[in-house]
Amino acid sequence: MHADSHQLAALLAVVEEGSFEAAADELRVTPSAVSQRIKALERRVGQVVVQRTRPCRPTSTGEVLVRMARQLALLEAEAGAALTAQSTATTIAIALNADSLATWARDVLVEAAEAGDIGLELHVEDQDHSLELLRAGRVLAALTADPVAVQGCSVTELLPMRYVPVATRWLWERHERDLSRMPVVRFNDKDDLQDGVLRELGVTATGLVHTVPSTEDFAMAVRCGLGWGALPVAQLGRRDDLVEVAPGHDVLVPLYWQRWRIDSAVLDRVTEWVVSASRTPTPTPAPPRS
């Protein structure tokens, strides 16, 4: 289809800002102008593209057009910078999972800081759910556990993240080294790492469940003895205060970088940063004393 850039920009603004009024403020036009552009776009494609809810959400057709709009906005920004021979900052939306962002992906932030001309709009989402952001057009690339490419995307395999189930020694001893009775810490209701360990062991848990939705606070909760949990190797550091509660049952979480197949120097650079950072070996801490 022939894309009208003003109509696509209006759609993207409505979806990102959540309402026609806020989109109008962002685009510096009237709400009536935004409404007219959306209606014209819907006549063009013959389908409704926006659910008029609060906040406004794209329909399945709208999601396809939002992806096009975001890609077009990136390409236009890069073309404009090239034509004016000026170094213009470009913002790119990507999705990372919280544990990667708290460990190896910090090198990506360092690269962006040193480059100084790429803005990162970070969406933090579990690696098992981040593809929804990619499909919906909210991001141009995502860190995911799924190797199957979203239509229109390429996939690069990264090094998997290794998690070690640990607890404080005193908590382990208090519960007589019985994992079924110990309290457990989970990140949120999408966190299946600890349950996966229990399933492998054939253990039914009866202890308390604590939810700590912050990567650094999750690790601190485990170190404080709130419960046992699976920590990324990069977060273990010195393990004198921790003991493995399921030896031989470390969890390997596969990681893949999915990005839209568009000719974008900015997206290429961010991809290089992610791939390089993910493949930097993480020192393996010495095993805890039993």
Question: pLDDT tens, 162-207?
Answer: 999 999 999 999 999 999 999 999 999 888 999 999 999 999 988 8
φ, ψ at 81 (rounded to 5°)? -65, -40
- Residue 287: per-residue pLDDT: 43
Per-residue burial over 189-201, b = 16 or more CB atoms within 10 Å of its CB, e = otherwise: eebebbebbbeee
Does the pLDDT at position 279 exceed 60? yes
55-82, pLDDT tens digit by residue? Answer: 998 998 998 899 888 888 888 877 777 7
- Residue 285: per-residue pLDDT: 46
121-165, pLDDT tens digit by residue? Answer: 999 998 888 998 888 888 999 999 999 999 889 999 999 999 999
What domains can you pick out in the chain, each with its CATH number? 1-70 (1.10.10.10), 89-159+254-284 (3.40.190.10), 161-252 (3.40.190.10)
Asked if residue 25 lies in contact with residue 14, where contact means CB atoms within 8 angstroms, the answer is no
- Higher pLDDT pick, 206 / 256: 256
Strands (E), the chain: 50-51, 57-58, 90-96, 118-124, 141-144, 153-157, 161-168, 184-186, 209-211, 229-232, 242-244, 251-253, 256-260
Confidence band of 111 (pLDDT split at 50, 70, 90):
very high
